[in-house]
Structure 1
Amino acid sequence: MDGRTNRIINGSNGRHAIKPWYLIPLTILGMGGVFHIQDNWRASMLLPGRVPHWAEALLLLLFATYLLFLLHGLRVKTHLLRQDQEQFSVLYQRLRESERSKSVLLDNLPGMAYRCRLDPSWTMEFVSEGCRNLTGHRPEVFLQNRNLSYADIIHPDHRDAQWDSWSRAVETRQVFQGEYPIITASGEIRWVLEHGQAVYSPQGEVEALEGLVIDITDRVRQEKEARFASRHDMLTGLYNRPYFEEIVEQADKPEQLPLSILIGDFNGLKLVNNALGHGEGDRLLGEVSRILLECCVPPGWVARTGGDEFSILLPRTDGEEAREVLRRIQEACAGYNGQRPAGTSVINLSLGYGTKTFWTESFRDIRKQAEENLYKRKLLEQKSVYSATIASIQATMLERSQETKEHAGRLSKLCLRLGRRFGFSQTQMDDLELFCTLHDIGKIGVDDRILKKPGKLTEEEWVEMRRHPEIGWRIAVSIAELAPVAELILSHHERWDGKGYPRGLAGEDIPLLARILSVVDAYDAMTEDRVYRKALSREEALRELERNAGTQFDPAVVRALVDHVLPEEDAKGGSD
């Protein structure tokens, strides 16, 4: 034994007797305790130079196995870590993609997505980019009420209602949906639709409100226009007849008594439409509507209940007050007529009213009473209305055709003298006077550029000009008061030899009154200056008439004018 034997035997750690490289696997393997020296016999087994080869081989094998195990574990852990990293990277990319998609979705929604607190200011915690287009403000303006609260842009008339509606939705845990106007950064009023709901905590408390606000201004405008069109007359803007009947039904209640109705009828509208065109008729209807609205005191309702009929419903208005409204309307119409533009027609409105004083009375009977009063007024005013309308049509016709009122007056005077010469009846004389006044009414339908052309007309322009007798005939034949002269208007450019227009009538096939006007009109035209020529003398004009008698003119009419009417006029000094 060497000098270390005693130390080993005396209780020293056996590892001092083991080769140093043995300590590494023994320590790693945790087997140092196995080789503690327990007695002399085991110690002798571990003395240097006495360790069996099989033991060394076993230790090396165990050590190599352990290292392989460690390396394998490291590779497994590395692989798993790499997998975890790859999975984390995928999840992270998906999360980023999800957030990006969510952001793109919110930014491209047709409106403003939001998350806010349930408070009167609607304090915003999140606002999407759609806020810019909807409100004109940047999203950050509303976050935590930095510059504005969302409540600030809700129209003041709707703020309380909005809060009450949301409060009910939260209380009942229902989805909120509401429409209201907001005021944009530019001051524009926009209607929006808000759809949202409350977010609750596990304890049932409201954490926030989330939703979407979209612009519905166009839809609201279209609905408003459709609603307006269903209730209003599109020409005048007044209520239409169907909606007026609904108003009557709603107003016919005891608390609305006395209930009055006023009915007006625009006299001569058909005459104006046919003579001056529907444009002038529509303009006059607009003027009548304006007058009625100005004279009707709220809470009255004004409606156009027929082509030329208007109605006014006046709740809590007795007969005396209704009569005062009627008087104001009449004065307003007279004021318009006194200041109307030149060449426009007069307004003549026949009016009647009725008043329901007792609940037992039938409103239908009251309306019938108003209509009877109206028709009585029409009968009394018919002649003056007709005369005034004819006068305004004549004024317009003369203005457009560049003829003078004096020319029309001379025509009437000479034609009536010829009529007396031929022994006309009073009816024929009345027709002749009306014919002289309106024979060129068809020129209303001819282009102004042709009517007012200073020089001679081209062939194409003459074709257009020659249409005016037919246009005048269509106007006259459609109006009962003008129907007797319709045929005369159509025939006033026919010639005795059949070479006139539009029908090429000849001789006595041409109405006598038309033949008279043809001669007198030619004579007056020749003796008056024109833009393109000087006036002829009276003698020259008479010679021209005589030269064309039997071709252009009726010889008997020419003889009567030359031999009798004009000499008699000279003898009387030109007086009738």
Structure 2
Amino acid sequence: MKNQVYRNLFTIGDIGLACFKILYDKEGMAVDYKCIEANDVFYKCLGVTGPKALGRALSEINADTEALIARFKEITAEQSADFYYASITGTRYRVTATMPKSGFLVALFAGQAEADRKLTLYEEQLKVLFDVTNEGICVVDTNGCCILCNNRCLRLLGYSRPEELIGKDMNKIMHHHHFGHPDHFVNDIIDRLFVDKDRESEYEVFLRKDGTYFYAEFNSHPYYHEGELKGAVITFSDVTNRMNVEHELRESERSKSVLLENMPGMAYRCKFDPQRTMEFVSQGCYDLTGYQPESILYNRDISYNDLIKPEFRAPIWEKWNKLIGTDNKFREEYIIITASGEEKWVLEQGQIIYGDAGEIVAIEGLVIDITDQKKKQKEIEYLSYHDNLTGLYNRIYFDRAREKYDNPEYLPLSLIVGDINGLKLLNDALGHQEGDALIIRTANVLQSCCQKDHVLARTGGDEFSILMPKTDSIRANAILKRIQRACEEYNKQIRNEVFQINLALGFATKTSETEPYSKIRKIAEDYMYKRKLLERKSSHSAIISSIKSTVYARSQETEEHAERMQRLSRLVGLRLNLSEVELDELALLAALHDIGKVGIDDNILKKPGMLTAEEWIEMKKHPEIGYRIAMASPELMSIANYILCHHERWDGKGYPQGLKGKQIPLFSRIIAIIDAYDAMIENRPYRDAMSHEEALEEIRLNAGTQFDPEAARIFIEVMNEEFGRKE
């Protein structure tokens, strides 16, 4: 029975399998790989027939194997390899190779599309299958001296280093009983090779270094160079426990048993009946099912069919019945319930075994645990269909769900769409980290208002969609109102309006099969955009006010500073005969020129001493941040460019653009003077405040370099008049 299972391992599935004997050079380095066993799929991979490849080195099979040999050389007893190989036929294969025993290499070739799901199964099968291969290799010259040996040869003969054998007369090491001259065993082999060529499967007694001996099965092959016999290749293995043909067969049976008992998963042979009555199961049965093999054999305690989760039993048996009369292979994934009650996903692959008369004899195959693979597959599916930031479904999943629910059986079908007001303004003001936090808070509120059959997804940067099957417009409107109330309740807990949820919502309902979904989507979005326009101004104003408050709280700027700036800017503006509209705009600039500081780190804004060069680089970003905030708010767009330019200098040495002279907007030039003056007359942690006169003198001295000279002159005049004295 085990022989039959063993033979069928090479025919199950469409994986190329091959075992190679490693050919070494005199330094013990692998140079080539002799094919000693393989299946038809492997031969197809190399584009050759079995007779052409079997027993030959890879380099002799075809010119396409050079890259394969190079990759095989990377493999050690401790290190396997997993790589892709393009064959001479143009087919790309995934190759997994390992060295289960010294001197031998096992390789698995799988088509790239099938490789990932089959590699794990066959890697372990092949490793154990060839684990029984146990040969030493010794190459001798015509004088019987060793010129090359492998590590297995050293170990079998009791040596530790190749130098102990290389150059030595092997006649003194490889003694024998059967030949006429025991002391010239190797020379006898050479002599016989001249007549008989290859000599296979002979038995002799070899001596070890320590004087002990072992029975060896050996093969000898001529070693030619340029047509001349140069020596022999002797391969041998220790067969002390295999002294006759019967014993040899028992050893082979044991080896096959080792393979079956140690491969991953459960190898089996069972009757063709609904209970899957097992006639043989490998030891992997316990690891897979939690039951000892004897518990399942012949259904002693439980049948294998009883382990299969009920909903899978009938479909599996139906699939097996469909294979009757064919040579097709069975492959199915399903769930079993183990002795501990744990559910495991397994992959079963097998085939029906027929007798000589075509009758069904048994089923043979392999069952392996793929639970971990299923978990990874689920993780990949989750990432494919979910938004990374919120954990909600993404647009891809939503569109698939829409295709499913856009059918008569789910009518009426309602849709709610929502868009976060002020997200861009928040991103520009406080950075995307705060914007992301607002998106997450909004997602949580929306989720709390949805039912299990609703599909809630983040369908855009600041956009959410809720698909509600079998939901009429009255119910949809009630859910929309519930969301609005939930946002209001949440906002009551948040004092700073910058971090409150302001969500524009719209909905629509599809009631007719002929009504296109695109029309419903447009109705819902139009509804939402109308609400967004109505709410935008008030929400933006609230956010701007909150940003101003945040700037005052985080920096050395104060509300009093802003008020003084506004008062002084009005005095200068009046002297310049600005219109009332222009005066209001200048006052707004005076109040918000430093709004960009909301995006600067607190440690820099509140630093008591002078800033470092790196900190100044960060601080100089605030005009650009302020510009983006203003551009994101309709009521501030008119002063956005003034905010950007309020740190430019008359001589072109300012920032961020390095503008010069009248390239700088007038309002920015005025604010630069007023801001500098107010800063000089205020105390700072790193200096004392200047007097009014000292500050004006500083402005006068920097007129024409830092400041617009004409604007500076007017400012000094206005300030002197304001304080009741002239320059």
Deviations, residues 306-355 of structure 1 (Å, cap 9, x unaligned)? 33322222222222211111112122223333334869543321111122
The question of whether the paired residues in 1 share the 8 Å contact of 2:413 and 2:470 is answered with yes
The question of whether the paired residues in 1 share the 8 Å contact of 2:699 and 2:712 is answered with no
The question of whether the paired residues in 1 share the 8 Å contact of 2:309 and 2:336 is answered with no
Note if 1:385 corresponds to 2:551.
Answer: no
The question of whether the paired residues in 2 share the 8 Å contact of 1:280 and 1:344 is answered with no
| Partner secondary structure for residue 195 of structure 1 | strand
**One-letter code aligned to 1:163:** R
**Could you say what the CA RMSD is over the residues aligned between the two structures, in angstroms?**
4.3
Q: Distance in 2 between matches of 1:94 and 1:480?
A: 92
**One-letter code aligned to 1:487:** N
Note if 1:559 corresponds to 2:713.
Answer: no
Note if 1:432 corresponds to 2:586.
Answer: yes
Q: Distance in 2 between matches of 1:399 and 1:339?
A: 20
The question of whether the paired residues in 1 share the 8 Å contact of 2:390 and 2:443 is answered with yes
The question of whether the paired residues in 2 share the 8 Å contact of 1:179 and 1:191 is answered with yes
Question: Which has more strand, going by share of residues?
Answer: 2
Q: Which residue of 2 aligns with 1:40?
A: none
| Partner secondary structure for residue 168 of structure 1 | helix
**One-letter code aligned to 2:256:** K
The question of whether the paired residues in 1 share the 8 Å contact of 2:498 and 2:542 is answered with no
Q: Which residue of 2 aligns with 1:57?
A: none
| Partner secondary structure for residue 455 of structure 1 | coil
Q: Judging changes above 3 Å, is the alpha-carbon distance between structure 1 residues 364 and 487 closer, same or farther for their aligned structure 2 residues?
A: closer
| Identical counterparts, % of pairs | 53
Q: Which residue of 1 aligns with 2:312?
A: 162
Note if 1:375 corresponds to 2:529.
Answer: yes
The question of whether the paired residues in 2 share the 8 Å contact of 1:345 and 1:393 is answered with no
Q: Distance in 2 between matches of 1:199 and 1:98?
A: 22
- Candidates 246, 254, 267, aligned match of 2:421: 267
Matches within 5 A, 1:65-104: 89-104=243-258
Q: Which residue of 1 aligns with 2:408?
A: 254
Q: Judging changes above 3 Å, is the alpha-carbon distance between structure 1 residues 374 and 459 closer, same or farther for their aligned structure 2 residues?
A: closer
The question of whether the paired residues in 2 share the 8 Å contact of 1:124 and 1:142 is answered with no
| Partner secondary structure for residue 309 of structure 2 | helix
**One-letter code aligned to 2:310:** D
- Candidates 483, 486, 489, aligned match of 2:643: 489
**One-letter code aligned to 2:309:** R
Q: Which residue of 2 aligns with 1:238?
A: 392
Shift in Å, 1:384: 0.7
Shift in Å, 1:511: 2.0
Q: Distance in 2 between matches of 1:484 and 1:234?
A: 37
Shift in Å, 1:414: 4.2
The question of whether the paired residues in 2 share the 8 Å contact of 1:128 and 1:139 is answered with no
Shift in Å, 1:383: 0.9
Q: Judging changes above 3 Å, is the alpha-carbon distance between structure 1 residues 211 and 340 closer, same or farther for their aligned structure 2 residues?
A: farther
**One-letter code aligned to 1:315:** P
Q: Distance in 2 between matches of 1:107 and 1:388?
A: 73
The question of whether the paired residues in 2 share the 8 Å contact of 1:123 and 1:142 is answered with no
Q: Which residue of 2 aligns with 1:214?
A: 368
**One-letter code aligned to 1:294:** S
- Candidates 660, 667, 673, aligned match of 1:513: 667
Q: Which residue of 2 aligns with 1:325?
A: 479
Structure 2, unpaired ranges of 5+: 1-239
Deviations, residues 7-62 of structure 1 (Å, cap 9, x unaligned)? xxxxxxxxxxxxxxxxxxxxxxxxxxxxxxxxxxxxxxxxxxxxxxxxxxxxxxxx
Q: Judging changes above 3 Å, is the alpha-carbon distance between structure 1 residues 521 and 147 closer, same or farther for their aligned structure 2 residues?
A: farther
The question of whether the paired residues in 2 share the 8 Å contact of 1:516 and 1:557 is answered with no
| Partner secondary structure for residue 331 of structure 2 | strand
Q: Distance in 1 between matches of 2:342 and 2:574?
A: 74
Q: Distance in 2 between matches of 1:501 and 1:122?
A: 82
Shift in Å, 1:563: 3.6
Q: Distance in 1 between matches of 2:309 and 2:717?
A: 89
Q: Which residue of 2 aligns with 1:455?
A: 609
Note if 1:280 corresponds to 2:434.
Answer: yes
| Partner secondary structure for residue 388 of structure 1 | helix
Q: Distance in 1 between matches of 2:254 and 2:620?
A: 77
Deviations, residues 149-181 of structure 1 (Å, cap 9, x unaligned)? 8778x6xxx710232234324544555533234
Q: Distance in 1 between matches of 2:556 and 2:369?
A: 57
**One-letter code aligned to 1:259:** L
Shift in Å, 1:453: 3.5
Deviates more, 1:453-462 or 1:319-328: 453-462
The question of whether the paired residues in 1 share the 8 Å contact of 2:242 and 2:248 is answered with no
Q: Which residue of 1 aligns with 2:502?
A: 348
Q: Which residue of 2 aligns with 1:501?
A: 655
The question of whether the paired residues in 1 share the 8 Å contact of 2:428 and 2:625 is answered with no
| Structure with larger RCO (C-alpha < 8 A, sep 6+) | 1
Query: Normalised by the size of structure 1, how large is the TM-score?
Result: 0.68
Question: Which has more helix, going by share of residues?
Answer: 1
Q: Which residue of 2 aligns with 1:305?
A: 459
Q: Judging changes above 3 Å, is the alpha-carbon distance between structure 1 residues 493 and 192 closer, same or farther for their aligned structure 2 residues?
A: same
Q: Which residue of 1 aligns with 2:345?
A: 191
Note if 1:334 corresponds to 2:488.
Answer: yes
| Partner secondary structure for residue 481 of structure 2 | helix
Q: Which residue of 2 aligns with 1:15?
A: none
The question of whether the paired residues in 2 share the 8 Å contact of 1:141 and 1:148 is answered with no
Shift in Å, 1:433: 4.7
Q: Judging changes above 3 Å, is the alpha-carbon distance between structure 1 residues 428 and 101 closer, same or farther for their aligned structure 2 residues?
A: farther
Query: Normalised by the size of structure 2, how large is the TM-score?
Result: 0.55
**One-letter code aligned to 1:350:** A
State the number of aligned residues.
477
**One-letter code aligned to 1:367:** R
| Partner secondary structure for residue 261 of structure 1 | strand
- Candidates 449, 457, 463, aligned match of 1:295: 449
Shift in Å, 1:211: 3.1
Shift in Å, 1:472: 4.3
Q: Judging changes above 3 Å, is the alpha-carbon distance between structure 1 residues 359 and 88 closer, same or farther for their aligned structure 2 residues?
A: closer
**One-letter code aligned to 1:297:** Q
Q: Judging changes above 3 Å, is the alpha-carbon distance between structure 1 residues 89 and 456 closer, same or farther for their aligned structure 2 residues?
A: same
Q: Which residue of 2 aligns with 1:106?
A: 260
**One-letter code aligned to 2:486:** A
The question of whether the paired residues in 2 share the 8 Å contact of 1:251 and 1:315 is answered with yes
Q: Judging changes above 3 Å, is the alpha-carbon distance between structure 1 residues 535 and 128 closer, same or farther for their aligned structure 2 residues?
A: farther
| Partner secondary structure for residue 296 of structure 1 | coil
**One-letter code aligned to 1:261:** L
